[in-house]
Structure 1
Amino acid sequence: MSNSPQSKHDAVVDELYAEAIHWKINTGEEKIHAKRIPGTWRALKWIASLVWVPFFLVPYLRWDDRQAILFDIPHRQFHLLGVTILPQDFWMLSLLLLFFAILLAVITALAGRVWCGFFCFQTVWTDVFTWVEEKLEGPPQKRIKLDQGALNFTKLRIKVTKHAIWLVVSALTGISFVAWFIDVYQLWADIFSFNLGITAGVTILLFIGGTYGLAGYLREQTCFWLCPYARIQGVMVDNTTAVPTYDFHRGEPRGRVKKGVKDAERTTGDCVDCNQCVAVCPTGVDIRHGQQEGCITCALCIDACDAVMEKLDRPKGLIRYESLDVLNGKEERPLLKRPRVWIYSLVLLFSLAGIGYGMASLDAIEIKVIHSRQPLYVLQSDGSVQNKYVIKVLNKMTEKLDVTITASGIDGIVVVGTDEPVSARKGMVTPRTVFVRIPRENIKTESQPLTFYAEATDSSGTKLKSERISVFIGPK
């Protein structure tokens, strides 16, 4: 009799409700110890967190004689593989930030706070910290019991080990962040030789404190009270947004499973009030109460509910990714009828087009021509008219270049001061003063366009060119 389907069913019921009393909705008064269970969304959550692996590894990649990607703030340069972007080209950074901001808005409009649930650094680091905590201290009930227990050698050993691992992860986070701004190998050398600069040292310490405090202690409270996205996401979703949703039509009225009562005889909905959806929620909210600012749409409640439904031989999907309109029986509104998504998409395309144009039009060398204002021109003894210019050569390459300056646009032009090439230092602006003389009879108007050219050859033999239009001023 003990192996009958009914007895197995009753055993599942006993197991579900044995721990249900321990799970409570988050009121901010006690620490949340979320339960971990395997499932599809848990696996996807771990896979999504791998987007942060490049944060730790990319600084170690090399390109020629330097770091492949390096934000060199002291020299005001951004090295991206073989391209060096200087402050003059940082307008592309604005478009990049705009792109990611609008992308976040698009994703939120379509599928809620997917960023928060799967990719946010706070969520990912908290997940790692709580995973370490569970490996050392055990499941939630054991962790609570350990926290409430008296201090002894076993508790001290476990706690010290846990916090030591947390600090190591926090330190690696801080060092990895700074490594995007300082050559990583030089950074490690400075750390081990105790020769780390004040700025780098303070930044690493701030990251250690921030990571350790936010992921180790504040955890879900960061999502509730510190993150502004939790406050504004309510205006970014609507009834057509698909989010983890409790199907109240199917689940209500809730009721606990009674032993010996068959499904055909029950008068309650599919929700058995086991609180497993609350137990696995990292922020401790109850998805059955509808969308709340504490819900980060991590979908772990879907795994929990599906596991329970499977044990009770009921259909999965009581909690699922769904929009409110579909849940209420309305037809799903297609993307073609959602103007907001189209507007967001157009802004995304504009940002990408701008970034693409900027990267495609980056010149390895760039010149700026400044016409002297005092005086505008000088009459020479031979009857020619002379203008003075300051040519500023910007070398965006990672090597020194010898740049030749020429000019054209007016007959009889003579350029003085360009006999020797400009020795343009890498990643810097090098000025050169030149004089342009033109026979007076060739000057047709008071102001005529004049084009300056800069040419150089890099170490690989590639010809580099740049030009800038200026004016030549003559007498009336």
Structure 2
Amino acid sequence: MTDKKIQVESLYEEGEQWTQNLGDKTIHAKHMKGKFRNFKWLAIIVWSPFFIGPYLTWNDKQAILFDIDKRQYHLFDITIFPQDIWMLTMVLLFLAILLAAMTTVLGRVFCGYFCFQTIWTDIFTKIEQWIEGTPAQRRKLDKAPMSFNKLKLKLAKHSIWIAIALLSGITWMLYFGVTWTDYFKGDITFTTIAITAAIALGAYVFAGFMREQTCLWICPYARIQGAMVDGQSILPTYDHYRGEQRGRLKRGEFVEGFGDCIDCHQCVAVCPTGVDIRKGQEYGCITCGLCIDACDSVMEKVGKPKGLIRYTSLAEMKFNKPVKALYKRPRLIIYASILLAALSVLTYGILNLAQMDLKVLHDRQPLFVQLSDGSIRNKYELKVMNKTNKVMPISISFSSKIKNLKSKKAFKTVMTPSGNVKSIYVYLTAFESDVGADNDVIFVVKSEQVILEYETSFFTPKSM
């Protein structure tokens, strides 16, 4: 036991103590191995498709492409046009409710593992560690006067940071049809340059300098999470009953009344936002679990049970009540219902994306025209939307119970351009005496694979 106490003595020098860093100093969090740290690195896989997506091809074309000029959005074999943008509402609703449900169950687990700010900050700080050393070495370097060695280390670090930031900005623009060749040749617009620079600058400043301050002061999620969690939410929690009264571990000395916490501050040293979990839940906690890794490591060294800091709920910790099953929590039932509804509508929309859309507009000024022979003429505008990637030939016809209803011109095959609306004007004439109570007209538009119908009316003086 004494040897284990000796191993822990050096830990006291590595931790810093504060309630919460409000931006007056830079947090140099310690990187400690553990299952939650490993899981954080694995979570980077969630964002790896961001850098891979622009290079994927499908049917000899870019698989994921947001073509703003043509107002087409390609996702592998699916092409979405502005008319179908309502599905974006379902996607946003699904993601928002999913985030609320995750927070209710596991707190800010999204922030701790999957948020782009967290992942980019992890990458930036890892690079900082490779170049400048341990947290203690980095703090010493920051305080040291400028020298050739300091300048060399800082330039190396910031060069890599800027490269990653620029890669992030350029990768984003690749999704919108910009290519690397365009950048190298300078064949890019001012808008492209501005967006690329804005994203790169954001990544560089937020992940490199602001870090946890971005979560504390810019992201609104930190402020509203308190309305989402409850007594059943699973969060990193310090076992106050087991840990207190805390006291430093000394060689060969046992103090009666001390708890298991040896006050080494390792839980604070590894926290990326500078939170002391022993002071209770704070809005700065991003539920990453790194404090659990640190505490378990120390407990193992001093020969005490792990779990002094662990994922648990307030109900279990304070009242010794087991966590309720998810299906017994009303809020989660509501969230699950909304998620299922949004996902169902989205799935239906994707599976029923038509290759063609038809809308018929009846001329309103005037509704009809009386010709010299006494017949009545109505004007219609057929708007045919081609939602495919190639020119689509279509045929047009109509049906009605109106006797002797005729078209001014014979219908011919019409070519509709890809991704565009083709307006086709149709003039129908009939004598008022031939128009009965049923004055409906049904236009039929056919392509090789799609048949669409649209019902409208034929107006005469007596129908007014």
Q: TM-score range by the shorter chain?
A: over 0.9
Task: Tell me the equivalent position of 1:26.
Answer: 20
Q: Which of 52, 55, 64 is the matching residue for 1:57?
A: 52
Task: Tell me the equivalent position of 1:255.
Answer: 247
Alpha carbons 2:246, 2:262 under 8 Å: kept: yes
Task: Tell me the equivalent position of 1:220.
Answer: 212
CA distance in 2, matches of 1:17, 1:371: 81
User: How much does 1:177 deviate?
Assistant: 1.1
Specify whether residues 267 and 300 from structure 1 end up closer, same or farther in structure 2 by C-alpha distance, changes over 3 A only.
same
User: How much does 1:26 deviate?
Assistant: 3.4
CA distance in 2, matches of 1:34, 1:96: 36
Is the aligned partner of 1:82 residue 2:77? yes
Pairing 1:270-309 to 2, within 5 Å after superposition: 270-309=260-299
Alpha carbons 2:14, 2:136 under 8 Å: kept: no
Is the aligned partner of 1:470 residue 2:456? yes
User: How much does 1:420 deviate?
Assistant: 2.1
Residue deviations 1:238-281, cap 9 Å, x none?
Answer: 1111111111111111122232246xx74211111110000000
Alpha carbons 2:244, 2:261 under 8 Å: kept: yes
Is the aligned partner of 1:398 residue 2:389? yes
Residue deviations 1:214-258, cap 9 Å, x none?
Answer: 111011111111111111111111111111111111111112223
Q: Which of 90, 93, 116 is the matching residue for 1:98?
A: 93
CA distance in 2, matches of 1:408, 1:287: 74
Residue deviations 1:398-445, cap 9 Å, x none?
Answer: 111111111123255433445222221111111010122346555222
Alpha carbons 2:379, 2:425 under 8 Å: kept: yes
Alpha carbons 2:117, 2:207 under 8 Å: kept: yes
Alpha carbons 1:366, 1:467 under 8 Å: kept: no
Residue deviations 1:135-162, cap 9 Å, x none?
Answer: 0010101111111122222211111111
Alpha carbons 1:245, 1:320 under 8 Å: kept: yes
User: How much does 1:210 deviate?
Assistant: 1.0
Specify whether residues 152 and 272 from structure 1 end up closer, same or farther in structure 2 by C-alpha distance, changes over 3 A only.
same
Specify whether residues 417 and 152 from structure 1 end up closer, same or farther in structure 2 by C-alpha distance, changes over 3 A only.
farther
Alpha carbons 2:215, 2:222 under 8 Å: kept: yes
CA distance in 1, matches of 2:12, 2:27: 19
Percent identity at matched positions? 46
SS state at 1:26 partner: coil
User: How much does 1:74 deviate?
Assistant: 2.4
AA partner of residue 83 (structure 1): I
User: How much does 1:382 deviate?
Assistant: 6.8
Alpha carbons 2:37, 2:293 under 8 Å: kept: yes
Task: Tell me the equivalent position of 1:460.
Answer: none
CA distance in 1, matches of 2:279, 2:455: 66
Q: Which of 419, 434, 438 is the matching residue for 2:411?
A: 419
Deviates more, 1:356-365 or 1:52-61: 356-365
AA partner of residue 417 (structure 2): R
After TM superposition, the score normalised by the length of structure 1 is 0.92
Task: Tell me the equivalent position of 1:44.
Answer: 39
AA partner of residue 176 (structure 1): T
Pairing 1:307-318 to 2, within 5 Å after superposition: 307-318=297-308
CA distance in 2, matches of 1:90, 1:227: 27
Runs of 4+ with >6 A deviation: none
Alpha carbons 1:404, 1:418 under 8 Å: kept: no
Unpaired runs of 5+ in structure 2?
Answer: none
SS state at 1:473 partner: coil
CA distance in 1, matches of 2:409, 2:356: 19
Size of the alignment, in residue pairs? 459
Q: Which of 319, 330, 354 is the matching residue for 2:321?
A: 330
Alpha carbons 1:405, 1:455 under 8 Å: kept: yes
CA distance in 2, matches of 1:418, 1:84: 33
AA partner of residue 319 (structure 1): I
Residue deviations 1:193-213, cap 9 Å, x none?
Answer: 012111111001111111111
SS state at 1:406 partner: strand
AA partner of residue 391 (structure 2): K
AA partner of residue 100 (structure 1): L
AA partner of residue 237 (structure 1): V
User: How much does 1:176 deviate?
Assistant: 1.0
AA partner of residue 413 (structure 2): P
SS state at 2:47 partner: helix
Residue deviations 1:297-334, cap 9 Å, x none?
Answer: 11100100111111112111111111000112123222
AA partner of residue 303 (structure 1): D
Deviates more, 1:66-75 or 1:304-313: 66-75
User: How much does 1:50 deviate?
Assistant: 1.3
CA distance in 1, matches of 2:215, 2:371: 73
Alpha carbons 1:406, 1:452 under 8 Å: kept: yes
Across the aligned residues of Structure 1 and Structure 2, the Cα RMSD in angstroms comes to 1.8
SS state at 2:439 partner: strand
User: How much does 1:381 deviate?
Assistant: 6.6
Alpha carbons 2:166, 2:200 under 8 Å: kept: yes
User: How much does 1:360 deviate?
Assistant: 2.3
Deviates more, 1:379-388 or 1:294-303: 379-388
Residue deviations 1:328-368, cap 9 Å, x none?
Answer: 21232222332111111111111111111211222101111
Unpaired runs of 5+ in structure 1?
Answer: 458-462
CA distance in 1, matches of 2:272, 2:283: 13
AA partner of residue 267 (structure 2): C
